[in-house]
Structure 1
Amino acid sequence: MPLKWIVLIIAVIMYVLVVIFPGKKSVSALGAALLTVILGVVSPGEALGELVNWNVLMIFVGSLVIAELFIYSRVPAVIADSIVLHSPNVGIAIVAILMMTGIISAFVENVATVLVMAPIALALCKKLKLDPTYFMVGLAVMANLQGTATLVGDPPSMIFADFAQKLFGGFGFNEFFVFQGKFSIFFAVQIGMIAGAFFFYAYFAKKGGGKVQVEQETSLSMVPSILLILMILGLAAASFVFGGISLVSGLLVVILAIAGLLWFRLIRRESGSKVLEMIKGLDWDTVLFLIGIFVVVGAVAKVGLLNDFSVFLSHVVGNSVFLGFIIILIVSILISGFVDNVPYIIVMLPVAAQMAESLSLQPSLYMFALLIGSCMGGNLTPFGASANIVTVGILKKQGVQLSFSQWLKISVPFTLITVAASAIFVWVVWR
C-alpha cells in the first residue's frame, strides 16, 4: 500500500477517535504522531524541530496562567457588577454581561471566561427569578465568538496566525486588527458580535424588569490586570517589530506568566500547593493534543494529501469565487459543530490558500472565511466547543438539564446571524 494512503488511514482513525473519545484526544493525536515517526514519514528531529510550533504553545500556556490569575483577582466580577448597576433595565443588563463576556474572551481562553462569568450570570438570574438556561448558553456562544478575534483568544487563532505568517511573511497580533491596509478579522468578529447582541436583546427584552440592584464585589488586586495589559501591549509591539509570531512573543508571555505565579506565591502568600494546583489545572490536554496534531498534519502535507484535497475542491468550485467562499463557510460550520476545530483548521488552511491561488485570488478571503466558519461553527451544538460542554456541566450542577433541542433554539439563529454578518464584512472588504 502506498505511504500516502497509510498516512491518510492514520489521520482518519485519529479523527474518529477524537470524535468518539474527546476526553482522550491528546492520546489519539500523540499516538497517531508517533506512528508517522515510526513509519519514517517524518523524522523525530523534523517532528519536534520543524512541525511543532513551540512559540504558539508558549503563548497558549502563558496566556492560560495569566487568565487564571485574572479570574483570581475578581476584577471581571467587579466590572460586571458595575455594568449591571448602570444598566437601565434587565434586557440591557443581560446583553451587557454577554458582550463583556465576549470582550474578555478575546484575550482570555474561552473556558476560563465562562467559568468566571457563570457565577455572575447565575446570581443575577436568581435575583430576578429567571431561568438561567439561555443566559448561560449566551455566555458560551459569545465567548466562542470573540475567541476568534485576536491572536490570544483561542488556539485556532494562534494556528491561523502561524500559517499566515509563513504564507505572507508576517502575521501576528496586530494583523488581527489591520492587515495589508484593510480592517482584519477582529472587526469582522465585532460586526458578528453586534448582530448577536441585537439577537439576544430581542430575546431577553421580553423578560421585563427595571433597573437591577446587586451587591458590589471588591477586587483582590490589579496586578493580574496589569499583566494582561502588558501581554497585549507586548504582543502588539513584538508583532510590529518582528513581523508576526516570533520567539520573543512566546518568551514574553511565558515571562509574564512566571512573574504572575511569583506574585501569587510571594506577594499574595498563597501556598505552594495552590500554585501547583493552578499549574496542574491548566489545559495540558490541549497542549499535548496540539503537539500531536502539528506532527500528523505535517505528515499529511508531506505525502501530498492536502494538495490532492485542494485540487478536488477546486474542481468542485470551478471558476466561482463566491461558491468557494460559501462552501468553505458551510462545511466549516457543520464540521466544527460536531468535532474539534483544531485539527480541522490545521488541515484546511493550506487547502483554502491553494483554492484561492487556483482562482487567482489573495488567500486572505478564503482563509478568513475558514477561520470564521470553524470557530463560530463550534457554537452550533452543546459539544461543538469546550466552553459549551463546561456550560452544560454548570447548569447540571444547578439542577438544570439542558437538552440538545434547547441548545439549538439559541445556537442555530445565533450562529447563522453572527456568521452571516461576519462573512458579509469579509466578502465586502477582502473580495
Structure 2
Amino acid sequence: MSISPQLVTAAIFILVYAVLIITHHHRYLWVWLGVLILILFGILSPLKIFQHINWNILGVLWGTSVVAEMFIHSKIPAYLAERLIDFSKNLIWAILLLSLFTGLLSAFVENVSTTLIMAPIAFAVARKLNASPIPFILGICLSANLQGSATLVGDPPSMILGAHTGMSFNDFFFMQGKPGLFFAVQIGALASLAVIYLMFRRQNQPIQKVEPEKIITLVPGVLLGLLIISLVVASFFKNQIGNINGLICIGYAFLAIIYSLATKKVKTYSVFKDADWSTLIFLAGIFCLVGALKDVGIINSLAVSIGRFTGGNLIITFLVLVLFSVFISGFVDNIPYFAALVGIITPLAQAYNYPVYLLLFGTILGTTVGGNITPIGASANIVATGLLKKNGYKISFLQFSKVGLPFSLAAVVASCLFIWMFWS
C-alpha cells in the first residue's frame, strides 16, 4: 500500500516541529534530517531545495549580522546608552529610557546582540545604586523582542514577510498611502512601556552618573547608516531592479570585514568562525519544509480549514490568527512558526476576499510579541535570564511571566488596534 505524499509530508513536518519545541539545541540538524527524509520519499529533490530556499533573505540576515557585529564592537551603542542614562532623573526613568533605546536599536540589530550590549550597562547602574537589575534586564529583553518586526532587517520573521509579499524596506514604514508595521510597533512599544512604568514605578532612587565607554571608531556606525540608506533607495526602484536587498547587505558586510582586517580597530570578523551559520542553515531548512507543504497542497487545505473554522468572518479570523500566534510563540521559536503560517494566510485571504496585509501584519505582531510571555519564548529571554543567574539573581518562570504577559498584552492590543484602524 502506497503512502500519500500529503501524509508523509505532514507527519515529518509535525515531528520536526515537535522536536524543535522540546529542544533548542542543534535545531538545524533536526530540520535538515526532516528534509533528508522527504528527499528519500521523493517529495523533495535537490532542484526543489534550491528553488525553495530564499537566498535573498539569507543574504539580508548574514549581511546585517556582520555589520551589526562590527557596530557593537565599536562601542557606539554602549556609549549612547550610557549618555542616555545620565539624562535620567531616577531609576524608573533610566529603566524606561534604556528599554526604549534597546527597542529602537533592535529594529536594526539582532535581538540577542542588543540584549548583550545593554545588559552590562544595566548591571553597572543597579550595582552603583544597590538595586536589583531584574527590572532593567526584563525591560531590555522584552523591548528587544517587541521591535523585531518594525523593519525589514529587524528579525528573520520580518525578512520572511518581506520576501513573501515583495515588501521593500520603505514599505515597513508607509505602504499604499497608509502607515505600516513600524508605526504599529511603536504604538505597541508605548503601551508596553506604560506597563513597565506601572510595575516598577516605586524604583525612584536618584541616578548616579555612569562613566561612558570610549568609542573605538565611528566607521561601523557609518556603514550601518549607509546600509539602511541603500535599502531605502533600493525600495524606490524595486519594480525596475527586483529585490536586491540581500546583495546590498552582503556588500556592506564585506566592506565591514575588509575594514576590520585592514585597521584592527574592532574585532576582526572571521567569516567562518563568527557568522551565525546555524541560524542560516536552520532557516534554509525551514524554507524547504514549508515549500514541501506547499508542493503537496497542504498549505491550501489548511487555509480552507481556517476559513471554515472562523465561518468566513474577518474579525474572528483576525483575532484567531493574532491570539493563536501570541500563545504559540510563547513556547515555540517564532521563525519556523511564522514561516509556516505566512504561506497559509495569502490563499486564505484570496478565498474569502480578506485584506491580506491586515492578516499578515496581525500575525507577525502576535508572533513577535508572543515570545515575551515566557522566559523560553525568545532567544533574548533565554540569554537575559542566563545573565541574571550568572550575576546571582534568579527569576522563576512565573516571575518572568508576571511582567512578560501584561507587557505582551498591552503591546499586541495597542498595535493590532492600530493595524485594524488602517488596514481592515
TM over 0.5: yes
**1:189-200 equivalent positions in 2, closer than 5 A:** 189-200=185-196
Q: Cα distance, 1:194 vs. partner?
A: 0.7
Structure 1: how far apart are the matches of 2:175 and 2:46?
A: 35
Contact kept? 2:135, 2:200, Cα under 8 Å: no
User: What code does the residue aligned with 2:19 have?
Assistant: L
Query: Which region of structure 1 is more displaced relative to structure 2, 28-37 or 411-420?
Result: 28-37
Partner of 2:164: 163
Choose from 350, 357, 361 the match for 2:343.
Answer: 350
1:309–1:239 distance in 2 versus 1, CA, 3 Å: same
> Aligned to 1:379, what secondary structure does the other structure show?
coil
Structure 2: how far apart are the matches of 1:181 and 1:241?
A: 17
**1:254-265 equivalent positions in 2, closer than 5 A:** 254-265=250-261
1:263–1:45 distance in 2 versus 1, CA, 3 Å: same
1:279–1:80 distance in 2 versus 1, CA, 3 Å: farther
Partner of 1:214: 210
Question: How far does the alpha carbon of each residue in 1:113-162 deviate from its partner, in whole angstroms, 9 at most, with x for none?
Answer: 10111111111111121111232121111000001100110000000111
User: What code does the residue aligned with 1:68 have?
Assistant: E
Q: Cα distance, 1:403 vs. partner?
A: 0.8
Question: How far does the alpha carbon of each residue in 1:190-219 deviate from its partner, in whole angstroms, 9 at most, with x for none?
Answer: 000111111112233211123431112210
> Aligned to 1:208, what secondary structure does the other structure show?
coil
User: What code does the residue aligned with 1:250 have?
Assistant: G
Query: Which region of structure 1 is more displaced relative to structure 2, 30-39 or 51-60?
Result: 30-39
Query: Which region of structure 1 is more displaced relative to structure 2, 356-365 or 296-305?
Result: 356-365
Choose from 355, 360, 385 the match for 1:367.
Answer: 360
Partner of 2:175: 179
Q: 1:233 aligned to 2:217?
A: no
Partner of 2:269: 275
Partner of 2:319: 326
Contact kept? 2:74, 2:217, Cα under 8 Å: yes
Q: What RMSD, in angstroms, separates the aligned Cα atoms of the two structures?
A: 1.6
Q: Cα distance, 1:270 vs. partner?
A: 6.4
Question: How far does the alpha carbon of each residue in 1:340-392 deviate from its partner, in whole angstroms, 9 at most, with x for none?
Answer: 11111111112222222233222011111110011111111111111111111
Structure 2: how far apart are the matches of 1:349 and 1:86?
A: 42
Partner of 2:310: 317
**1:63-142 equivalent positions in 2, closer than 5 A:** 63-142=64-143
Q: 1:9 aligned to 2:11?
A: yes
Structure 2: how far apart are the matches of 1:204 and 1:425?
A: 26
1:244–1:192 distance in 2 versus 1, CA, 3 Å: farther
TM-score, scaled relative to structure 1: 0.95
Q: Cα distance, 1:404 vs. partner?
A: 0.2
Q: Cα distance, 1:246 vs. partner?
A: 4.8
Contact kept? 2:374, 2:404, Cα under 8 Å: yes
Structure 2: how far apart are the matches of 1:269 and 1:113?
A: 21
Contact kept? 2:326, 2:371, Cα under 8 Å: yes
Q: 1:152 aligned to 2:146?
A: no
User: What code does the residue aligned with 2:23 have?
Assistant: F
Q: 1:426 aligned to 2:419?
A: yes
Partner of 1:168: none
User: What code does the residue aligned with 1:14 have?
Assistant: V
1:368–1:133 distance in 2 versus 1, CA, 3 Å: same
Partner of 1:289: 282
1:392–1:61 distance in 2 versus 1, CA, 3 Å: same
Q: 1:27 aligned to 2:29?
A: yes
Contact kept? 2:152, 2:159, Cα under 8 Å: yes
TM-score, scaled relative to structure 2: 0.96
Choose from 238, 241, 248 the match for 1:242.
Answer: 238
> Aligned to 2:44, what secondary structure does the other structure show?
coil
Contact kept? 1:297, 1:347, Cα under 8 Å: yes
Structure 2: how far apart are the matches of 1:35 and 1:243?
A: 38
Structure 2: how far apart are the matches of 1:244 and 1:141?
A: 39
